[in-house]
Amino acid sequence: MNYYNYIKALHLIFVITWFAGLFYIPRLFIYHIEASKKGSPEKEILTKQFQLMTKRLWYIITWPSAVLAILFAIWLLILSPVLLQQGWMHIKLGFVLLLIGYHLRNHVIFKQLQRNEIRYSSNYMRVWNEGATLILFAIVFLVILKSTINWIFGVVGIIVLGVLLMLGIKLYKRIRQKNPDA
């Protein structure tokens, strides 16, 4: 058990780098989608660059971080199986499954954009980009608070955060309409 904290530290490091990738990949999707609306040769140059950037981010940082974060999490649960008897952990694992689903959906979008298949608007991607933020808030508050009453307040907080994020996106859209370079 002396190495438990080392495994926990490695788990947290890879969770952080996984989230870094999940925060940035939709942003690159937005840039790629917006580049597809530009004229030649700018469109081709930017598209090629964004495809390269997303490929490197996705395969060099995000996927390895996801796999390692999950492996270290499983190792922690094996070392401390009592965690699986706690209700908050079941809820946390539910959010982790949601995060994995979000990751896999980003993979589908990534593959589409690698083939220059534009299926979403940049505004849609701006909203999609907040998915990782909401999941992160939910997991962190759940792990820190752990009790049911505090968790209920946490859910209300997540909903409020989601509403604030959507309002921020709408405000940013209005600003961009007035000033396209913003």
Distance CA 2, CA 55 (A): 38
The shares of helix, strand and coil residues in the chain, as percent rounded to the nearest 5, are 85, 0, 15
DSSP codes, 121-162: -HHHHHHHTTHHHHHHHHHHHHHHH-SHHHHHHHHHHHHHHH
DSSP category for residue 117: -
Is 92 marked as binding a ligand? yes
Which helix H or strand E contains 84, and what residues bound it?
none
Distance CA 57, CA 152 (A): 35
For residue 174, what are the contacts with CB-CB under 8 A and spacing of at least 6? none
Going from the C-alpha of 92 to that of each of 50, 74, 77, 87, 146, the distances in angstroms are 34, 13, 13, 9, 10
**How many CB atoms within 10 Å of residue 101?**
12
Residues belonging to the binding site for heme are: 11, 92
Residues belonging to the binding site are: 11, 92
